[in-house]
Amino acid sequence: MAKRNQTLTDAQRVELRTVLRIKREEIRARQLELAERNDSDFEPDPMDTADAATAATAGHEDEALSAHDRWLLGEIESALGRLDGGRYGLSEGSGEPISYERLRSIPWARRTAEEEEEAARSVQSLR
């Protein structure tokens, strides 16, 4: 049976769930805005290099933002699932509690700060 995080109070869980839901709605609104912007009737003048460069840059920025938003939305949905399942706030690696301060900063965190730092050091050593 999954270990339930007893280090978070009910009020903290409610607060963090609200933060996650708000962030999810912000991302969904931004995705809708990007989709509408990409569907707009703006056609850059092919003879105007500034128009073409601006359109290309905006397109690349939109793609990068959209990819990050899709990743973050997945992280948020996963965190909400962990909240529903009673596993929220526990490291997926060690099962240790993730501090409330860390969760306030990164409510979709999957690992403790120490485990995250260790993972970052491991990646750096591979470079």
Instruction: Give domain limits for the chain.
Output: 10-126
Q: How far apart are CA 69 and CA 108, in angstroms?
A: 13
The answer to whether residues 97 and 13 touch, using CB atoms and an 8 Å cutoff, is: no
In this prediction the pTM is: 0.73
Mean pLDDT, residues 14-33:
95
Q: How far apart are CA 95 and CA 86, in angstroms?
A: 12
Is 100's pLDDT higher than 50? yes
The pLDDT mean for the chain works out to: 84
Architecture of the domain delimited by 10-126: Up-down Bundle (1.20)
Length of the chain: 127
At 54 the pLDDT is: 54
Q: Which residue, chain included where needed, has tokens 């939109």?
A: 62
Structure tokens at 76: 């948020």
Is 59's pLDDT higher than 80? no
Q: What percent of the chain has pLDDT over 90?
A: 58
pLDDT tens-digit series, residues 42-52: 565 667 666 55
